[in-house]
Amino acid sequence: MKLYYHPDQERHAPPTFLLRGAPAPSPEGPKRAELLSLGLAQAGLSLSAPAKADTPRLRERLGRIHSDRYLDFLETIHARWQALPGAAELVAPNVHPCGGGHHYPRHPVGQAGWHLHDMACLIAADSFRGILASAASAEAAAEAVLGGEPAAYALCRPPGHHAGPERAGGFCFLNNSALAATVLRERFARVAIVDVDLHHGNGTQDIFYARGDVWTGSLHADPADFYPFFWGGADETGEGEGQGANLNLPLPLGSDGVAFLAALERLLAAMAEFRPQALVVALGLDAHKDDPLAGLRLETEDFRAIGARLAGLELPTVLVQEGGYPTESLADNLHALMAGFTAA
Ligand SMILES: [Zn+2]
């Protein structure tokens, strides 16, 4: 299997985020890549770098899932922010168009509030380079599958599934899983995205909500009690041409692997009716019982079962890393998933 990680991804490493109103060390940092690489090594797998982290082709593909003004914002906001009198080193929003808003602002503070959904998406000087490199890894994995590989993996950090057409949220800026699906769509008419992250993949859902060519399904802790709070209900089923092509299966907080695997079966049964020709797995590992974001209670062995089940679909597959935060189990969880996937 081909596996990708670009060293520039380390350039995005904001030290803090806001947790229950208090600044806290960010769990989404380079340490994750270290632990995830260790898990891959334990599974006998090694990473290689995509040839380039920034190409016109990547930018063009990103333009199919994100708005131009959002991409411009991500690239230019840090420098414009620094030019404001008294600005902090990190771009952080302090005003939001809650309930909507009619006008897209010109001012950097207004734009930060428009595009940055929460306080887990702080932007440092080198962030854009790291964010783009993460997307380049997803693109490289999808291209490997387009080139005939049965499966490929991208160690994407920062992750992507909370990033919508023009919104960053939950540590996510560019939607790497949606990008992988976009690349697969260049050859496959129908692509499915299965999101097994602890959190609802709200950005992915928003990007494809009105499209009938990319099916999206997500298993996650019930958003009534959990981030991202405002999306992820079972009644969100798509609209227009996308009606019926989005499935959410929220699980009660604290659900275990038995409940998760049963829900995965339901999700895959619904996905089969769509008859996908290729698959993207939005591969979060934060549903593990020890994850600091603490929502579900999967064991390490449950990830082996998830990997085996997904490989059993026998579809061309791109595995895109989403969440999963530093614990003693993180490397083991990815090891178990990859062992299950490659043994099937
Ligand atoms: Zn997550």
pLDDT per residue over 102-140, tens digit each? 999 999 999 999 999 999 999 999 999 999 999 999 999
Q: Is the pLDDT of residue 338 over 90?
A: yes
The structure's pTM equals 0.98
Per residue in 65-101, pLDDT (tens digit) is 999 999 999 999 999 999 999 999 999 999 999 988 9
**How far does residue 228's CA lie from ligand 1's centre (Å)?**
9
Task: Please give the angle made by the CA atoms of 175, 176 and 179, to the nearest 5 degrees.
Answer: 90
CA 113 – CA 109 distance, rounded (Å): 6
**How far does residue 323's CA lie from ligand 1's centre (Å)?**
4
CA 29 – CA 6 distance, rounded (Å): 14
Per residue in 151-202, pLDDT (tens digit) is 999 999 999 999 999 999 999 999 999 999 999 999 999 999 999 999 999 9
Task: Please give the angle made by the CA atoms of 140, 279 and 264, to the nearest 5 degrees.
Answer: 130
| Per-residue model confidence (pLDDT) at position 99 | 84
**How far does residue 58's CA lie from ligand 1's centre (Å)?**
25
**How far does residue 197's CA lie from ligand 1's centre (Å)?**
5
Q: Identify the three-state secondary structure at position 249.
A: strand
Q: How confident is the model at residue 344 (pLDDT cuts 50, 70, 90)?
A: confident
CA 162 – CA 170 distance, rounded (Å): 6
Cβ atoms of residues 191 and 279 within 8 Å:
yes
DSSP 147: T
Q: Which residue has the tokens 């290729």?
A: 278
Torsion sign across C-alpha atoms 99, 203, 49, 14:
positive
**How far does residue 201's CA lie from ligand 1's centre (Å)?**
8
- Give the amino acid at 248: N
Q: Which residue has the tokens 């806001």?
A: 18
- Catalytic, 162? Answer yes
User: Which residues fall inside 5 Å of ion ligand 1, going by CB?
Assistant: 197-199, 284, 286, 323
| Per-residue model confidence (pLDDT) at position 285 | 98
Q: How confident is the model at residue 267 (pLDDT cuts 50, 70, 90)?
A: very high
Q: What is the mean pLDDT of residues 23-49?
A: 97
Q: Which of 78, 161, 162, 220 is catalytic?
A: 162
